């Protein structure tokens, strides 16, 4: 009888623990930074699952709420404007003008306010998602993570970035360049930048250029000093978006004269430069230098293609 009572109590206690487990789990909040892809149907399964859990989302633009309306319906929306990035990482006291110092202090206050709001929400057991176009780790906003404690419950979920979508649009892999094997990912030069684009061009390797506030004539003048004029280039507008994606092809020597670059989709196009656009996966050594490694890791060709 005593054994039966003890067993019954054990079962009841176990059932109680199971019943409380979801509640305990619900009390643990979480902060996700979610790469949303270049279009909703390129959102990853992991990203979609995380977003479904979120009851608060951070957006950088009001238009994002319209574009992702179906995905964020019923969720609290907090705007963490792109301008909150102003003077991040710079001490306002080091700036030259009062106007800059005021702007830096204002931006710092905005950032701190947003981070405090995220921290409070997570402490209350809520799930918060910062939604970023493409892949958050490629020119996305990451200052939230940098301002929060290192042990803060957070996760970054990769997304399909514009670079990957643009490469898919031209059906060529930028890492292959026949006698080059690297990709320089860059944007317009800015004051104080030390790895200037023209210095990077000296390698002659493939370029993937994010074109925010871009000086096309100046950039192509530099390109012409380091790349053959017949080097292929391509612009991809609205990469990955069905019905909107558009590929424009040209060369280093002809681009400025034959492409209406002033009317390309603002902040929604990438520039690709390099031999990879024509040579594809071909390599100058035919991959022979890696034969031993390939066969060790992947095996030989077998009987494929033989009779």
Q: Which helix (H) or strand (E) holds 130?
A: strand 127-132
Please give the Cα distance from 32 to 58 (Å, whole number): 10
Q: What is the pLDDT of residue 253?
A: 98
The pLDDT confidence band at residue 28, using thresholds 50, 70 and 90, is confident
Poorest-pLDDT segment among 41-50, 167-176, 226-235, 291-300 = 291-300
Specify the pairing of strand 30-35 against strand 56-59. Answer: unpaired
Residues 149 and 229 in one domain: no
Which of these three, 118, 140, 160, is where a domain ends? Answer: 160
pLDDT tops 60 at residue 2: no
Question: Which is nearest to 95 in space by CA: 83, 84, 108?
Answer: 108
Please give the Cα distance from 51 to 152 (Å, whole number): 18
Is 61 part of any domain?
Answer: yes
Q: What is the pLDDT of residue 30?
A: 98
The DSSP secondary-structure symbol of 188 reads: -
The DSSP secondary-structure symbol of 208 reads: E
CATH at 270: 3.30.950.10
Report, as an integer, the average pLDDT of 151-168. 98
Is 106 part of any domain?
Answer: yes
Is 285 part of any domain?
Answer: no
Residues 50 and 121 in one domain: yes
Is 21 part of any domain?
Answer: no
Residues 138 and 181 in one domain: no
Distance of CA 131 to the CA centre of its chain: 11
Q: What is the pLDDT of residue 18?
A: 35
Is 42 part of any domain?
Answer: yes
Looking at the structure of the chain, the number of domains it has is 2
Q: What is the pLDDT of residue 300?
A: 86
Which of these three, 160, 189, 211, is where a domain ends? Answer: 160
Is 7 part of any domain?
Answer: no
Residues 153 and 256 in one domain: no
Report, as an integer, the average pLDDT of 285-289. 86
Q: How many CB atoms lie within 10 A of CB 47?
A: 23
Torsion of CA 196, 198, 200, 205, to 10 degrees: 150
Residues 156 and 38 in one domain: yes
Radius of gyration over alpha carbons of the chain, in Å?
26
The pLDDT confidence band at residue 3, using thresholds 50, 70 and 90, is very low
Is 112 part of any domain?
Answer: yes
Residues 104 and 191 in one domain: no
Residues 126 and 239 in one domain: no
pLDDT tops 80 at residue 1: no
pLDDT tops 50 at residue 17: no
* CB 128, CB 32: distance < 8 Å: yes
Q: What is the pLDDT of residue 293?
A: 86
Q: What is the pTM of this model?
A: 0.85
Which of these three, 135, 160, 185, is where a domain ends? Answer: 160
Residues 137 and 188 in one domain: no
Question: Can you say whether the dihedral through the CA atoms of 173, 176, 178, 184 is positive or negative?
Answer: positive
Residues 112 and 137 in one domain: yes
Residues 151 and 30 in one domain: yes
Please give the Cα distance from 200 to 185 (Å, whole number): 10
Residues 138 and 172 in one domain: no
CATH at 85: 3.40.1010.10
Is 152 part of any domain?
Answer: yes
* Residue 38 domain boundaries: 26-160
Residues 138 and 39 in one domain: yes
């Amino acid at each position: 009888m005593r054994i039966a009572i003890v067993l019954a109590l054990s079962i009841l206690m176990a059932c109680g623990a199971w019943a409380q487990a979801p509640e305990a789990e619900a009390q643990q909040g979480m902060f996700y930074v979610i790469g949303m892809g270049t279009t909703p149907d390129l959102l990853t399964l992991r990203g979609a699952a995380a977003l479904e859990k979120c009851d608060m989302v951070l957006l950088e633009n009001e238009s994002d709420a319209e574009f992702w309306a179906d995905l964020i319906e019923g969720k609290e929306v907090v705007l963490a404007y792109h301008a909150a990035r102003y003077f991040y990482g710079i001490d306002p006291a080091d700036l030259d003008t009062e106007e800059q110092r005021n702007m830096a202090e204002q931006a710092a206050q905005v950032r701190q306010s947003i981070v405090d709001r995220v921290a409070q929400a997570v402490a209350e057991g809520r799930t918060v998602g910062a939604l970023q176009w493409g892949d958050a780790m490629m020119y996305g906003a990451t200052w939230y993570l940098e301002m929060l404690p290192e042990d803060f419950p957070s996760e970054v979920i990769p997304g399909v970035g514009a670079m990957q979508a643009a490469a898919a649009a031209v059906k060529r892999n930028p890492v292959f360049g026949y006698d080059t094997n690297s990709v320089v990912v860059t944007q317009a030069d800015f004051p104080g930048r030390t790895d200037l684009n023209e210095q990077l061009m000296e390698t002659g390797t493939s370029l993937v250029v994010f074109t925010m506030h871009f000086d096309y004539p100046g950039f192509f003048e530099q390109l012409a000093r380091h790349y053959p004029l017949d080097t292929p280039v391509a612009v991809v507008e609205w990469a990955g978006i069905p019905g909107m994606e558009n590929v424009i092809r040209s060369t280093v020597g002809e681009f400025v004269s034959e492409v209406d670059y002033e009317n390309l989709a603002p902040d929604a196009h990438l520039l690709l430069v390099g031999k990879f656009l024509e040579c594809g996966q071909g390599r100058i050594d035919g991959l022979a230098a890696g034969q031993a490694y390939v066969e060790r890791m992947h095996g030989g060709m077998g009987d494929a293609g033989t009779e």
